[in-house]
Amino acid sequence: MHISEGVLSAPVLLAGAGLTLTGLTIALKKMDYDTLPQVAVMAAAFFVASLIHVPLGPSSVHLILNGILGLVLGWGAVPAIFIALLLQAVLFQFGGLVVLGANTVIMGLPALVVWMLFSRGIRGNGRTACICAASAGALSIFLSALLAAVALWISGDDLLTTAKLIALAHVPIMLLEGGMTAVVVGFLKKIKPEMLA
């Protein structure tokens, strides 16, 4: 779901950079520095998952894992996503440095939203935790696709068709990430429940 350089308008780029800077400032103040290894591992998982692209129609899709990052890291998801996107931009030219702020907002804001909505629910009993985790995974992808589509639409009416295609292309990823998030949360609840605290 990386938006490439040269696509977004200057106001969208500036808004993305400002929101990312604000989010990083808040996240670094709220983050417990004992969790840095956990943030690093989750950033690495996000980095690797986002590199595997599957062609789908005129676009390509990939796992994002921002729902899992949000549930496990809370505010720590913002710096994890930022660092992973920065490394992808520098090492593989996915996205780019100019759109780094917008891409971080597109993937980081949904991670925070699902953490706020579902972090208590995943600590419940089996079925409730499974439903909350699946909902968090699916919702994070839906919100990311929606934010990407809105960023493209605001940048120009000629990008409206592309925005619609990006949103539609991520429907299968919503379902996949919903199921995957439920499995990962169930696994973490069994072996390391403190990661979800």
| pLDDT tens per residue across span 93-137 | 877 899 999 999 999 999 999 999 998 888 888 788 899 999 999
Regarding predicted confidence, which is higher, 75 or 160? Answer: 75
79: its two tokens:
């710096």
The listed CATH number (3.20.20.150, 3.90.1150.10, 1.10.1760.20, 1.10.8.60) that belongs to domain 10-196: 1.10.1760.20
Query: What sign has the CA pseudo-torsion 170, 173, 177, 179?
Result: positive
Instruction: Give pLDDT, residue 58.
Output: 47
Of 130, 86, 78, 87, the closest CA to residue 105 belongs to: 78
Total-model pTM: 0.88
Instruction: Give pLDDT, residue 59.
Output: 52
Whole-angstrom distance, CA of residue 196 vs CA of residue 73 = 8
Query: What mean pLDDT comes out for the span 63-77?
Result: 91
Least confident residue range of 46-60, 93-107, 166-180: 46-60
